[in-house]
């Protein structure tokens, strides 16, 4: 069911950092006057969306579905860690496992919103815009389609949890889905998500299929199992 809201879109923003860094992405602060969503959010769209048949609808909902999928997988991940420290016979490591679970619970995937605008300021703006929670300035990218190795500093509080979570989600999907892009800020707010399905290769090869194939290859070749992977007894990727 569609909900009519009043919103105010600010001027284009120049984002310094990792939030879809390609120059063809447009970002704006958006203030929504509704009790259903957070008032201040970040609206974004790719400048190609306005020239697609769906005016960005397909692309915006693809982003939203990735967000919802990762939120579901994160709940499974957090529950799996909770189950470990509740198991009998782990008294000597129970406190450590509980601390890891508490840290994992701090990770969040806020719900996204897809906005269907009524009228555009210019022909270069699509009818459909993707909106997500604004994050802190310390937001950083942990993985993208061609980089899955652990590049964060040892003191990074989310490093092991995020890389372990991506491995967990891959195995939970029976190796059929991959979180190929993920950002996180200092408060544990996860954003800017992209997910790829494993392709059957029954259709013609395209730039998209090559991108997806390379992402799976990079993940298998670059992911470094850490203590979270070991605690959850995740399979080594070389054995998959």
In the predicted structure, residue 118 carries a pLDDT above the cut 90: no
Q: Hey, how many other C-beta atoms are within 10 angstroms of the C-beta on 44?
A: 22
When pLDDT is averaged across residues 67-82 and rounded to a whole number, the result is 97
Domains located in the chain, CATH noted: 6-232 (3.20.200.10)
Instruction: Give the burial class of 156: count Cβ atoms within 10 A of its Cβ; 0-12 exposed, 13-18 middle, 19 or more buried.
Output: middle
pLDDT band with cut points at 50, 70 and 90 for residue 23: low
pLDDT band with cut points at 50, 70 and 90 for residue 11: low
Cα angle at 40 between 108 and 195, to 5 degrees?
40
Q: How far apart are CA 46 and CA 16, in angstroms?
A: 17
Q: Scanning the structure block, which residue is given the tokens 């989600």?
A: 169
pLDDT band with cut points at 50, 70 and 90 for residue 20: low
Please answer whether residues 43 and 130 qualify as being in contact, where contact means their C-beta atoms are separated by less than 8 angstroms: yes
Q: Which helix (H) or strand (E) holds 218?
A: helix 207-222
Q: How far apart are CA 109 and CA 133, in angstroms?
A: 9
pTM: 0.86
Closest by CA position to 189, among listed 110, 73, 104: 110
């Amino acid at each position: 069911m569609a909900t009519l809201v009043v919103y105010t879109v600010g001027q284009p923003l120049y984002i310094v950092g990792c939030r879809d860094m390609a120059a063809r992405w447009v970002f704006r602060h958006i203030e929504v006057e509704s009790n259903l969503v957070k008032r201040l959010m970040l609206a974004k769209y790719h400048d190609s969306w306005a020239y697609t048949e769906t005016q960005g609808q397909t692309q915006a909902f693809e982003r939203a579905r990735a967000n919802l999928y990762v939120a579901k997988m994160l709940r499974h991940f957090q529950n799996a860690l909770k189950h470990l420290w509740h198991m009998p016979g782990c008294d000597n490591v129970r406190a450590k496992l509980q601390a890891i679970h508490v840290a994992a619970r701090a990770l969040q995937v806020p719900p996204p919103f897809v906005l269907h605008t009524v009228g555009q300021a210019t022909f270069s703006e699509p009818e459909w815009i993707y909106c997500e929670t604004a994050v802190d300035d310390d937001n950083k990218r942990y993985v993208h389609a061609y980089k899955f190795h652990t590049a964060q500093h040892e003191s990074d509080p989310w490093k092991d949890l995020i890389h372990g979570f991506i491995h967990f989600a891959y195995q939970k999907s029976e190796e059929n889905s991959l979180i190929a892009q993920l950002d996180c800020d200092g408060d544990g707010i996860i954003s800017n998500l992209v997910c790829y399905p494993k392709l059957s290769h029954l259709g013609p090869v395209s730039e998209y299929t090559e991108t997806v194939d390379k992402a799976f290859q990079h993940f298998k070749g670059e992911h470094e199992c850490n203590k979270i992977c070991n605690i959850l007894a995740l399979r080594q990727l070389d054995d998959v």
